Amino acid sequence: MSTLTLALIQSSLHWLDKSANLAHFTEQLNSFNEQVDLIVLPETFATGFAINLDCSEPEQGEVLNWLQATAKQKNAVIAGSVLVAQGDKKANRFYWVWPNGEVRFYDKRHLFCLGNEGDYVIAGKQREVFTINDFRILPQVCYDLRFPVFQRNSDDYDVMINIANWPAARRHVWDTLLKARAMENLCYVAGVNRIGEDGNNVAHSGGTAIYDFKGDTLAKLDDNQSGIIIQHIEKSPLKDFRRTFPAHLDADQFQLL
């Protein structure tokens, strides 16, 4: 039976302090001994969402080195987003790092125009799907959650993961859309959001959770509290549900430009 064990990390972030954030997440990850397959950290976990400030990493920088060392030490894939220098802008890069040091990534596609994100961040162009333990994973970052066409499941993934700095003021949207994406795409959905106030005085309340393919909650962390979800998911119930309720066969056909 194909299974996947995830560790979803909910935490506050130290504003623009990479060393403090990396030390904090090292401590959190050392707080459990259970073997997991995949560790998921929040969006911009090393700096906070400081897109307009000079805090980006080079392609192979301190934070990626930490991810590679941590993946090896925990013998698990580790994922989280980092602001990576791209010319005079940044990419909000969802890193996917294997224990052997191999690195793949997805760059956030949808940029928040209300916050002028596009002035500082380049939009990703490529949809990615990563595979682990026979589970196909669609990585997404924060605002991507609002755009279901980009996330339409054409039977090419089994789990959607969204990592975020989603504000508390719009928390209801986060909770609702995570469940909706699970139900409409017949997939597991894991959302990892930060807590605490950032350097722009924006509050975040969490909402880190994992939902099954029917939108039912498998696990959810308490609001405004650091914590870790360790959750086992199985492939066979998902396959059985898709077979008995094949709504994907009635989906509209389209292509992304």
CB 165 within 8 A of CB 195: no
Alpha-helical regions (H) of the chain: 18-29, 62-74, 171-185, 235-244
> Could you identify the residue written with the tokens 């930060």?
194
* Per annotation, catalytic residue among 55, 90, 142, 235: 142
Is 108 assigned a catalytic role?
yes
Look-up: residue for tokens 């990534």?
Answer: 105
DSSP per residue, 147-201 = -TTTT--SSS-SEEEEEE---GGGHHHHHHHHHHHHHHHTSEEEEEE-EEE-TTS
Given 18, 108, 220, 235, which residue is catalytic? 108
Number of helices (H) and strands (E) in the chain: give both, helices first: 4, 15
Q: Which residues in 89-148 belong to E strands, given as ranges?
A: 89-97, 103-107, 121-122, 130-132, 135-141
Identify whether 55 is a catalytic site residue: no
Catalytic residue status for 62 = no
Distance CA 95, CA 102 (A): 10
Q: What is the dihedral of CA 110, 175, 93, 76, to 10 degrees?
A: -150
Q: Which of 18, 43, 117, 179 is catalytic?
A: 43
Task: Tell me if residue 249 falls in helix, strand or coil.
Answer: helix
CB 56 within 8 A of CB 90: yes
Catalytic residues: 43, 108, 142
